[in-house]
Amino acid sequence: MSNEALSFIVFSGGMLLLMGIGIPMAFALVLTGAGMAWALEFWDTQLLAQNLVAGIDSFPLLAVPFFILAGELMNAGGISRRIIQMAQAWVGHIPGGLGFVAIGAAVLMASMSGSALADTAALATILLPMMRNHGYPMATSAGLIAAGGIIAPIIPPSMPFVIYGVTTNTSISALFLSGIVPGLIMGIGLLVAWKLQLRKIDLPPGRALPMSERLMATARAFFALLMPLIIIGGMKTGVFTPTEAAVVAAFYALVVSFLVHREMTLKDLHGVLVRAAKTTAIVMFLCAGAQVASYMITLADLPGVLSAWLGGLIESPRLLMALMMLLLVLIGTALDLTPTILIFAPVMLPIAVKAGIDPVYFGLMFVLNGAIGLITPPVGTVLNVVAGVGRLTMHQVIKGVNPFLATYVLILVLFTAFPELVIAPMKWLR
């Protein structure tokens, strides 16, 4: 048996076995990498340790803890709530208006935090009780909020784009710009899907607020709306890099929470920092473990092996892209977004580039596919968040999210069949 075949068996079999017995993903990556080193007769504990450190020794990865901190500050400091209140003031009175509020707020919040879990938790905490009190079907409402939450990894600033860019050496700024139009298309798709769902639901209209109250709600959200303009505008004009943008976002959210909204105290800040640190530790350990596996994957030339297997499809980029997207959909049912990026992006990207697929377009599609996996059963991390906050069963949330999941799959198919829908606006923005 060749070294490449043995390495592939150790990698795939080891990951499936370790995941199946419930080993945390970061440990599974380290153990799989160690197993590949042994199989390749390349065992060296010092090398393993060096790769663990190298996995997190990256300046661009500094963006991750700061974007996580910015999301926590937004939720604790009232920034997220003001966005939702503004959306409610403008469209909350129409039949099914709270659903439109959820979609609008999801798009706006996605342009600030870049974290699907943080945005989903904020939306579910505020909107689900209101929807319950107004007679909305809870399963469909929870499904809508879950679907809205996964726009965050697509619209910049996006934490998954940072991780993908670092992992594959792809321009993070280009990835950020590539997500603007697809993220807005996802929002439009949700609007259409929610409108279709309203045909089956009889919801009375609410009370329309006078213009003065609408403008007041907008004014209260002014500093929240300024945040994405500062972040995206600063990166687009070259004032700061994506890593620096994360620091600016966290600092801005801190200043607004303490000095403008005045909804945070030093005691609250301690809890925010602890939650952000815990989440950061999980993500960084995943990055460290993935570097061990990634180094061994490169050493065993697994991308070359996979490329040889798919050699006949190199001449048909769209067919190859469709096959890889289908594979990622299946992977997304079992893996979270971050491990999917860390494990499979370094393997798949070289094949895509060899077939002539734009690497930034492929990165956008990879992250979009992984984000959809966050609302795909049986794992569906975002579904678990909504179920927990809304005190619903997973069965209810899965049933409610299906129409919106179908909408996203349709968008994914559309982007795969017509890459220019992504590439053309991306080039224009760049």
What would the pLDDT profile of 61-86 be if each residue is shown by its tens digit?
A: 999 999 999 989 998 999 999 999 99
pLDDT-derived band at 119, boundaries 50, 70, 90: very high
Q: Do 290 and 339 meet the contact criterion of CB atoms below 8 Å apart?
A: yes
pLDDT-derived band at 2, boundaries 50, 70, 90: low
pLDDT digits (tens, 9 = 90+) for 399-410: 999 999 999 999
Averaged pLDDT for residues 366-393: 93
Burial code (b: 16+ CB inside 10 Å, e: under 16) for 273-295 equals eebbeebbeebbbbbbbbbbbbb
pLDDT of residue 423: 95
pLDDT of residue 307: 72
Give the tokens for residue 315: 């001449």
Nearest to 262 by CA among 223, 299, 210: 223
pLDDT digits (tens, 9 = 90+) for 371-380: 999 999 887 8
Averaged pLDDT for residues 10-34: 85
Residue 304 pLDDT exceeds 80: no
pLDDT-derived band at 203, boundaries 50, 70, 90: confident
Total count of domains within the chain: 1
Rounded Cα distance, 168 and 359, in Å: 9
Kindly report the pTM of this predicted structure.
0.92
Q: How far apart are the first and last CA of the chain?
A: 48
Q: Which helix H or strand E contains 111, and what residues bound it?
A: none
pLDDT of residue 206: 77
Nearest to 82 by CA among 207, 197, 226: 226
Summary mean pLDDT of the chain: 91
Q: How far, in Å, are 138, 163, 234, 413 from residue 367 at the CA level? A: 28, 10, 23, 14
Rounded Cα distance, 275 and 270, in Å: 9
Nearest to 65 by CA among 107, 133, 115: 115
Give residue 221's domain range: 3-429
What distance lies between CA 257 and its chain's CA centroid? 24
pLDDT-derived band at 1, boundaries 50, 70, 90: low
